[in-house]
């Protein structure tokens, strides 16, 4: 569309895909040009901070107006994401939920086995290994925590993908609830990708023995931003799935198990059990260790059940139920 555009203009141009194709063709070039002028003026006046604030306002306004434009153009359509109603995305989401739960359980098992072998917190073992005072195997001290950390991050990415698949399932049955839930999940997915790259960098630093540089990674703040987006999107999509019974007779059970696991984890934390301090749990015996990881077992059971139901329901995604009125159905009028 534009030649020699700045980086901000190119990114903004890519974000315009949220608008309908006809709208982009008519107004896209002008919007990109105006935004580029605003960026240059804002940066000259207030620097990078002002430019960042402009981006925040612009993205929020873009999401709002794009949703409104697609709704108006499609005469009642309530989705902006291209995966809406896609049986393939529902299947991928179901598979992602199952594989993500497996990754999560394997990561937990690796962490527990490492701590059980080391009998001390992993960071302490890492420092001892760096100082040459550790008799532990490098595999236990380095590879185990690194692999478990990366598997855990991949599990989060797969869980977000699963909820995007759930959006694809409920989008044609629900209105704005599914729309905003899906948008939050996409934002969470993008932030989790950034966090995954940051996490890979931190693990490389650990493996290289440069422990003093672990705290210098500024991208770690993205994890704090991704969590509210993920939780908000999950709640909205869970509500939409329960209200529309998009998962059939199983509408509530997978979501209830996932919710119960989260609540149980919070209860255990408040009760004083060492949910976040595995070495203490290992030293206190197998019973305590089982209690500590009961929330994860419950939550992952919910993920597996959700993935199985979504996989089965992917072949039953209706073509005509909830189809936007802008899509003709044999010449008939759809309410």
What pTM value is reported for the model? Answer: 0.56
Task: Assess if residue 323 is contained within a domain.
Answer: no
At which residue do the structure tokens 């960026």 appear?
Answer: 39
- 204 and 94 in a single domain? The answer is yes
The one-character DSSP state at 277 is: -
Q: Identify the CA nearest to 136 among candidates 147, 125, 148.
A: 125
Name which residue leads in pLDDT, 15 or 291: 15
At which residue do the structure tokens 């001290």 appear?
Answer: 141
Task: Assess if residue 66 is contained within a domain.
Answer: yes
- 43 and 116 in a single domain? The answer is no
Model confidence pLDDT, tens digit, residues 128-163: 555 555 555 555 555 666 777 778 778 888 888 888
- 24 and 119 in a single domain? The answer is no
* C-alpha span between 74 and 69 (Å, rounded): 8
- 200 and 306 in a single domain? The answer is yes
Model confidence pLDDT, tens digit, residues 320-332: 333 333 333 333 4
Task: Assess if residue 334 is contained within a domain.
Answer: no
* C-alpha span between 268 and 275 (Å, rounded): 7
At which residue do the structure tokens 């931190």 appear?
Answer: 202
Q: 139 is in which domain, residue-wise?
A: 87-316
* C-alpha span between 20 and 153 (Å, rounded): 34
- 66 and 95 in a single domain? The answer is no
- Percent of the chain clearing pLDDT 70 (strictly above): 52
At which residue do the structure tokens 């989705």 appear?
Answer: 79
- 138 and 15 in a single domain? The answer is no
- 188 and 269 in a single domain? The answer is yes
Model confidence pLDDT, tens digit, residues 195-214: 666 666 666 555 555 444 44
Name which residue leads in pLDDT, 39 or 314: 39
Task: Assess if residue 326 is contained within a domain.
Answer: no
- 186 and 239 in a single domain? The answer is yes
- 65 and 213 in a single domain? The answer is no
Number of domains in the chain: 2
- 57 and 181 in a single domain? The answer is no
- 98 and 60 in a single domain? The answer is no
């Amino acid at each position: 569309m534009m030649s020699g555009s700045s980086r901000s203009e190119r990114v903004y141009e890519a974000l315009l895909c949220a608008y309908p194709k006809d709208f982009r063709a008519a107004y896209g070039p002008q919007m990109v040009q105006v935004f580029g002028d605003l960026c240059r003026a804002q940066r000259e006046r207030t620097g990078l901070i002002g430019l960042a604030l402009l981006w925040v306002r612009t993205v929020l306004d873009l999401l709002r107006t794009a949703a409104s434009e697609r709704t108006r153009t499609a005469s009642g359509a309530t989705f902006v994401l291209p995966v809406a109603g896609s049986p393939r995305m529902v299947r991928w989401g179901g598979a992602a939920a199952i594989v993500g739960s497996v990754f999560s359980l394997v990561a937990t098992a690796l962490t527990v086995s490492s701590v059980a072998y080391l009998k001390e917190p992993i960071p302490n073992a890492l420092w001892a290994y760096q100082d040459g005072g550790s008799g532990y195997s490098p595999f236990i001290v380095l590879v185990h925590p690194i692999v478990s950390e990366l598997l855990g991050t991949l599990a989060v990415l797969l869980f977000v993908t699963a909820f995007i698949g759930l959006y694809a399932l409920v989008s044609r049955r629900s209105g704005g609830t599914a729309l905003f839930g899906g948008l939050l999940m996409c934002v969470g997915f993008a932030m989790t990708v950034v966090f995954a790259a940051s996490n890979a960098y931190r693990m490389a630093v650990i493996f290289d023995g440069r422990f003093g540089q672990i705290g210098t990674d500024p991208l770690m703040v993205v994890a704090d931003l991704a969590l509210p987006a993920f939780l908000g999107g999950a709640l909205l999509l869970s509500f939409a799935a329960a209200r529309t019974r998009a998962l059939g007779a199983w509408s509530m059970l997978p979501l209830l198990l996932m919710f119960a696991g989260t609540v149980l984890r919070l209860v255990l934390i408040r009760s004083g059990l060492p949910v976040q301090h595995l070495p203490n749990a290992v030293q206190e015996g197998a019973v305590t260790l089982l209690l500590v990881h009961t929330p994860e077992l419950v939550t992952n059971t919910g993920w597996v059940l959700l993935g199985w139901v979504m996989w089965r329901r992917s072949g039953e995604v209706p073509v005509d139920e909830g189809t936007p009125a802008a899509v003709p159905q044999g010449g008939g009028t759809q309410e």
